[in-house]
Amino acid sequence: MHMTILEKITAYKQKEVSAKKEAFPVSVLEQSQWFERPTISLANALKTNPAGIIAEHKRRSPSKPVINTSVQIQEVARGYEMAGVSGMSVLTDTNFFGGSLDDLVLARKATSFPLLRKEFIIDPYQIYEARAYGADAILLIAACLTKTELTTFSALAKSLQLEVLLEVHNEEEIQKSLLPTIAMLGVNNRNLKTFETSIDVSKKLVALIPDDFVKVSESGISSVKAISELKQYGYQGFLIGENFMKTENPGKAAKQFINQLK
């Protein structure tokens, strides 16, 4: 049986995290200057900002070897903030996406809007790490975690003042994800087996998500029209990565996009 890309990534993460835990135990992470910093709510930013865009910083991905390796993250972060996005998603995985925790630090230094650590979280250690490196929110992926893990991880995040964006792909993943410790539920429009995207996934699954959650649509959103349609279905957040990142100036691309939305 072939491993899916998600299985490959999580297997790799197990090794990576156990090495990091030895080098930088949680007691060290807790010494970070940002560990006690008041976090900023991404969920509120999505509710109050009519555009509702979470703009992503992503250099490459398993399906696209190069998206953008030439722009500086600080410039991207400042550009996104000036464009008026609700928050920024920072990919911190190195092996598959070419990101790192340094990216989170640099984005945090450059901006004051909410930052989401986008990572394949398989261990509570990574949640402490997100807090120490200046994140306001973390991504949890239902496909990688059991209901018990989702429950413990989201409770830990909440106790550290981090909000959770929980990513789902289908009905059974939604069933295990409706937890009071979760602020935002993100429907990923990408089929993890074929890598194809369709916003119909978001339209189809929205009825299963109660209104206590801020609803986010992720992946494959490249037009203003798609967002207008998804808003009618009750979505308040839209995660957009490649669409901005594949341009020379992601902040400028985000600004033009948001102006069109208005």
* Residues tagged active-site: 56, 58, 118, 167, 188, 218-219
Contact between 4 and 193 under an 8 Å Cβ cutoff? The reply is yes
Distance CA 145, CA 96 (A): 19
Report the length, in residues, of the chain: 262
Q: What's the CA gap between 218 and 190, in Å, rounded?
A: 8
State the Cα–Cα distance between residues 137 and 152, nearest whole angstrom. 16
- Rg for the chain (alpha carbons), in Å? 17
User: What's the burial of 217, exposed, middle or buried (CB within 10 Å: 0-12/13-18/19+)?
Assistant: buried
Evaluate whether 163 touches 42 at the Cβ level (below 8 Å). Answer: yes
**Residue 36, both tokens:** 């006690």
Tokens of residue 173, six digits: 């993943």
- DSSP conformation class of 38: P
**Chain-centroid distance, C-alpha 50:** 19
DSSP E strand boundaries for the chain:
53-57, 87-91, 115-118, 137-141, 163-168, 184-188, 214-218, 237-240
